[in-house]
Amino acid sequence: MEVWPGKAYPLGATYDGTGTNFAVFSEAAEKVELCLFDADGTETRITLPENDAFVWHGFIPNIEPGQRYGYRVHGVYDPPTGQRCNPNKLLLDPYSKAIDGNFDWNQSLFSYNFGDPDSRNDDDSASSMPKSVVINPYFDWGNDRPPEYEYADSVIYEAHVKGLTQTHPDIPENIRGTYSAVAHPVIIEHLKSLGVTAIELLPVHHFANDSTLIDKGLSNYWGYNTIGFLAPDSKYSSSPNPGGQVQEFKAMVRALHEAGIEVILDVVYNHTAEGNHLGPTLSMRGIDNGAYYRLVEDDKRYYMDYTGTGNSLNVGHPHSLQLIMDSLRYWVTEMHVDGFRFDLASTLAREFYDVDRLATFFELVQQDPTVSQVKLIAEPWDVGPGGYQVGNFPPQWTEWNGKYRDTVRDYWRGEPATLDEFAYRLTGSADLYERTGRRPVASINFVIAHDGFTLRDLVSYNEKHNEANGEDNNDGESHNRSWNCGVEGPTDDPEINALRARQQRNFLATLLLSQGVPMIAHGDELGRTQQGNNNVYCQDNELSWIDWGSADTELMEFTRTVSELRAAHPVFRRRRFFSGRPVRQRGGDGLPDIAWFAPNGSEMGDEDWESGFAKSIAVYLNGNGIPDLDVRGQRVVDDSFVLCFNAHYEPIDFAMPEKKFGESWRAVIDTAADGDDEATVVAAGEKVTVAARAVVVLQAEPTE
């Protein structure tokens, strides 16, 4: 086969219409073989002829999209010194843009013999490995444009490609659970009806199903086991063709953009599926182990593990950093995604041992003209020492606010001494973000995410019920801050079921009306249950999928109502923190932009905030006190609102603020009201009854 020198850049397999350039980095290699596979599995090996700055490369004419390939890397195999080259192991290209096939878990994938980690195993792994695929980079994007919502106007919907779509009766069976299903009109219509501006997809980078789970009849459902940072996973593709998942993914993005919905990817750059020193040799381990992974300094046989998965990517090495940055740019420029949520992002800040928010990775992101301009969301923790970093990420980043989740859960389950912190979370967590020049939108507010109870289960279970995972209920978080409302699990008691329904509405109303960016977990608006399992990472079945046939339509309508209220009123979407001071500039009314009231109508004092038993509070939001300007530079003015929160187990009468705040108020949201109830209207100083464990939102009536 004819082989030309080719180019060292770009890395990966690049088709130009006449052939394909192959380039792979390895400082550890002595020789690199490109392995091409026919449809029947026949392998052709070609030694890459050139090596420039440790990038091995070659151009093969007439190699077209759909060609399956891999690498064999010749070099030193000496695990105690961190060197693990073994040409008997076929390796996936770290820059694979598509991967075809599955892992056949057996001895050949491992470079040692089972039972003897110090031995060397030279079984050929090619027949047990999936293959990298040369893709067609050309796609008709038409007039595709990113929606580019401001954070303040965003509502994020966290979803799993398969879990969201697998049981929907209006989606054709042959595309359920795929990218095409996410782009189906019924899914788009549902998202639009909720006011969703961005769908945040659980990992779609190609990932490996763990052999330990397969042996139990389970699988890695969530996908936090990446082995291809540039490849959309073929498991979510309805295309039968190798590489077809790329075109299908792009078509999904184009359809969502056309509907005005952004696409955010949950990405896992902190570790890979190759695991610890006893893991398989699938890709980077066999290409250049020390460059791609953090090794224990005094014994490089072992891996530093800040993720709980066996290894951590070596973000202190330039080629490892290059892989991450090239991946991010690729997904933005070629796949048109609108942002990323970084799993265990604190790991990316560990250049050496401690978390350093000024680590090289964050400097590169800050300087990159492409990546710095999309939405960047950190999961601001990992499992290593000092890994919990909520509030400490760089200014252009937003964060999953775990303190918001915990505080709101504690407030609504009646825990003592949460009132002052609840107020911070409701107003954008200034205590976490304001000191570093950030704004309320730095806080991605959530009560529920994929990891943990669903919203319905949060109000139905005190304890986790993870027996189906096969770990004797030892996996998953044991401290869930949940409350079952009196009975564990399903019940026929109408009072308990009514309370659970009200609690779900309380959480959704709090979430959507808090300052910051709300994130809804898929199916929570439909009353989805996982039967008390708070760790369905391995449950690719009805337990984890949305059951569209049993959707709670009343809860869905309530969610839509509150979302519409948020979208219609900028007072709930402020771009700056409240000051609490009188507003007199630019036509202000002299009233504070925010005020807090006890149920008796008096403004909150220190003793009120410090009262550990207090569970009820009202907050006044001044629609004439918004410091934001619209696109024309005009001051934003809105109606004013009073939000009454009652987490007490008895009804509370709330007195409306004095007349200067508003002459009369009309209830627009009542989480305890029947949908047919007539709206309550109260005058200044009069009282409105807020039911036990309920929220009432009142809007100022226009004056004559």
Catalytically active residues are: 343, 379
Burial 615-640 (b: 16+ CB within 10 A, else e): bbbbbbbbbbbbbeeeeeeeebebbb
**Contact predicate 247/255, CB 8 Å:** no
Question: Which among 106, 130, 128, 110 has a CA at the least distance from the CA of 119?
Answer: 110
Beta pairing class for 99-100 and 131-133: antiparallel
Secondary structure of residue 101 in the 3-state scheme: coil
**Contact predicate 33/86, CB 8 Å:** no
DSSP letter string, 69-138 = EEEEEEE-EEGGGTEE--TTS-B--TT-S-EES----SGGGSSSBTTBTTS------GGGS-EEE-----
**Contact predicate 69/101, CB 8 Å:** no
Scan for tokens 């003897």, then name that residue: 116
Secondary structure of residue 436 in the 3-state scheme: helix
Q: Which two tokens stand for residue 119?
A: 């031995």
Interior angle at CA 230, CA 224 and CA 231, nearest 5: 75
Query: How distant is the alpha carbon of residue 576 from its chain centre?
Result: 24
Q: Which two tokens stand for residue 375?
A: 């939405």
Give helix then strand counts, H and E, for the chain. 15, 29
Beta pairing class for 50-52 and 43-47: unpaired
Secondary structure of residue 372 in the 3-state scheme: helix
Phi, psi of 596 (to 5 degrees): -115, 140
Helix axes 419-426, 402-412, angle to 10 degrees: 130
Scan for tokens 């998965």, then name that residue: 309
